Structure 1
Amino acid sequence: MSLTEGSATEGSATEGFSVTHRRYVPHAHAHYGGALVDGAYSLGLFGDVATELLIRTDGDEGLFAAYSSVEFLAPVRAGDVIEATATLVRVGTRSREIDFEARVVCRSAPDRGPSAADVLDPPVVVTRARGTVVAPKR
């Protein structure tokens, strides 16, 4: 699932433009006790959502250059539905600074049954980051 906000057209990188992806976290990604998933899972989602953002604003996938900050705020577990949002916060000649946020919007509830789950309202913010991507010269 992909949602976009703002008003960017290809070749028009606009501050405030955002893209959101949602994904179910499969049990195959649990690496630790308690069905915990490693923090790199969120960073992988950030790479995917940044790629779509650059395609929409620059007509190219671009390259991820660096993270300037990453905060792991809460656990991600197998059975979660997680959404990752990338919001364009600065547009340079070729660089784009992006704020990222990952939120758990649904969480499994194994105490109620093997397939039970809850919608989290409000969602739980699990990871925040800021990163820089580079778009090629046009």
Structure 2
Amino acid sequence: MNSSVESADQPTSAGTASGTPKVGQRVLHRRYVPYSHAHYAGNLVDGAYSLAAFGDVATEMCIITDGDEGLFASYSDVQFRAPVRAGDCIEIEATLVRVGSRSREMEFEVRVVARGNPERGESAADVLDPPVVATTARGVVVVPPR
């Protein structure tokens, strides 16, 4: 899994948060969806796969901004827009959209950036340009008081 963070803050040192959480901060993960996660015909994975990925990027966001993993409080407006399949390469993005005293509201998006293409060969795959937006949501995470 790859990860990147975009922020106006300076790079963080090990074991410390970057400081004040800022609206617009983003965390991006990329990962391959293994065939062991296929749940339905056509190698489809269930929607919970995207929600778990949202939890992962939210956890990293909270570690970066608050020095704590935080706890997910709620999801809202979850939209399953396109399938995620085993063999896909996906990127999962969290963007901080609201900062409360203990709450952090984020927008999430799963994009399929590459997909297996068995018609061309057993291990063939194609980069999707543009990526396919598969799942979107908003969520709220709470962190301990500072």
TM-score above 0.5: yes
Find out whether 1:74 has 2:82 as its counterpart.
yes
Q: 1:92 is aligned with what amino acid? A: G
Where in structure 2 are the equivalents of 1:1-138 lying within 5 Å?
A: 1-8=2-9, 10=17, 11-138=19-146
Q: 1:5 is aligned with what amino acid? A: E
Moved more, 68-77 or 4-13: 4-13
Identity rate of aligned residues, in percent? 68
Give unpaired runs (5+ residues) of structure 2: none
Say which structure is richer in strand.
Answer: 1
Give unpaired runs (5+ residues) of structure 1: none
Q: 1:17 is aligned with what amino acid? A: Q
- State the alpha-carbon separation in 2 of the partners of residues 38 and 49 from structure 1: 18
- State the alpha-carbon separation in 2 of the partners of residues 4 and 120 from structure 1: 23
Give the number of aligned pairs: 138
Give the TM-score normalised by the residue count of structure 2. Answer: 0.92
**CA RMSD for the aligned pairs?**
0.8
- State the alpha-carbon separation in 2 of the partners of residues 32 and 68 from structure 1: 25
User: How far did 1:7 drift?
Assistant: 1.9
